[in-house]
């Protein structure tokens, strides 16, 4: 199996113990774009604000125009 086809299992924060298998490369790309833009202090940010903040750091090859980038938020 190539890296492009590799899946990882993630658990839902809002509805444990629900888990699903997702594309590892895309999940990692979104995570790596999101973590640097998250505030370290309250009040944090909304999901819409987080998506808008991560888009400039996201791979256009994996997410052209930011399409489907919000699935893991």
Separation CA 60–CA 51 (nearest Å): 14
Mean pLDDT of all residues in 7-31: 91
pLDDT exceeds cutoff 80 at 65: yes
| Cis amide leading into 19 (omega within 30) | no
pLDDT value at position 69?
83
pTM for the predicted model, two decimal places: 0.81
pLDDT value at position 14?
83
pLDDT value at position 4?
62
- Check: CB of residue 35 under 8 Å from CB of residue 58: no
Instruction: Give the rounded distance of the alpha carbon of 57 from its chain centre.
Output: 11
pLDDT exceeds cutoff 60 at 1: no
State the chain's maximal CA–CA distance in angstroms. Answer: 42
Confidence label for 34 from pLDDT (cuts 50, 70 and 90):
very high
């Amino acid at each position: 199996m190539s890296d492009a086809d590799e899946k990882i299992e993630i658990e839902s924060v809002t509805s444990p113990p629900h888990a699903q298998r997702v594309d590892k490369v895309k999940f990692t790309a979104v995570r790596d774009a999101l973590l640097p833009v998250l505030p370290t202090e309250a009040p944090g940010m909304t999901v819409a604000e987080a998506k808008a903040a991560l888009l400039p750091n996201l791979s256009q090859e994996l997410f052209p125009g930011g399409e489907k980038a919000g699935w893991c938020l």
